[in-house]
Structure 1
């Protein structure tokens, strides 16, 4: 897997990352969602440099402009619910993409420190020969991303795969890299070093789904 860690080169992206981490700014859920969306736009722009391009002639009122436009048939798949703002940011740039959605969550059978990934809802178009973009803001253990990809396999074999995340743990990055082929790509805004005992990224930012949409209903 080819890993593109955008934090290796300081940019305006750092501003948005710092704000989604900041516990005082996190209190504004609308701002949190917007910052995730803006990060998605930046990651999408960087990802676009790896797509295929063909020359096309565009007629203007005064002549013809030759322009390189991407030729990829893109399917954008996000993991609900935390992936929605990131999905929107990517969709702002890949507005012609088809869309897929999947629910994948941690199910704790016996104690808070052990879990399995459960996939319940899935809506997806045909993936055969297309460019698949998998989006999830937090890449902690990497298990949700791998489970999502396994659930998508009946829909066809993509020509290429791009994973987009906002913050990941090194362990999760390594796990995903071991389950996707060498020609796939990971586009990520920041990589933190560790996970805690419950599998959350440290320092991370907390639960992205809760910060974006409110606390989950307690059973």
Structure 2
């Protein structure tokens, strides 16, 4: 009875693009891109596929709108006195966490470098790079390096987490890292001398801390390209 009541209440709400995008995000988080069909979406919204097509033309547009909605929520709205470095870190972590929460976003950002979701991030990074005083000829390179690092590492982290969950669903993160570190330590000492040497750091590292350390490395490089 409760389920029937909830469905009735939801059906009475006017169908809008915003509701469709919200439901699409919920569906993507649950079943991934392959499970996002207009039939499944219509069932979730207790409507017909034709009503959804009135608001969005197809799956590609829907994926783009869902990605844009999530990415828009990562845009910093901090105080005006925030430094460019801190603004970049806040945005980077926001995108990193969004990709971890919504793993499908990583694929969408990589597929659509010239569309709105990616451009939101690129524009914000570019403005902060300008605020850092980077030479004009270096600004595109700096903003692109930051963007590619954020999306690439965020996407890889989410992919690794999904692969770990699929292969060893009963293994916790600590045990998984212990096993991986032990495997690194057993590698050939000549062919993999460096990898063996950092095996202990693999066991102890924190993904978000390492991610921010990489951002700081890029910011340091930008600082060294200051004019004068």
TM-score (norm 1): 0.29
Which structure is higher in strand share?
Answer: 1
Which structure is higher in helix share?
Answer: 2
Which has more radius of gyration? 2
TM-score (norm 2): 0.29
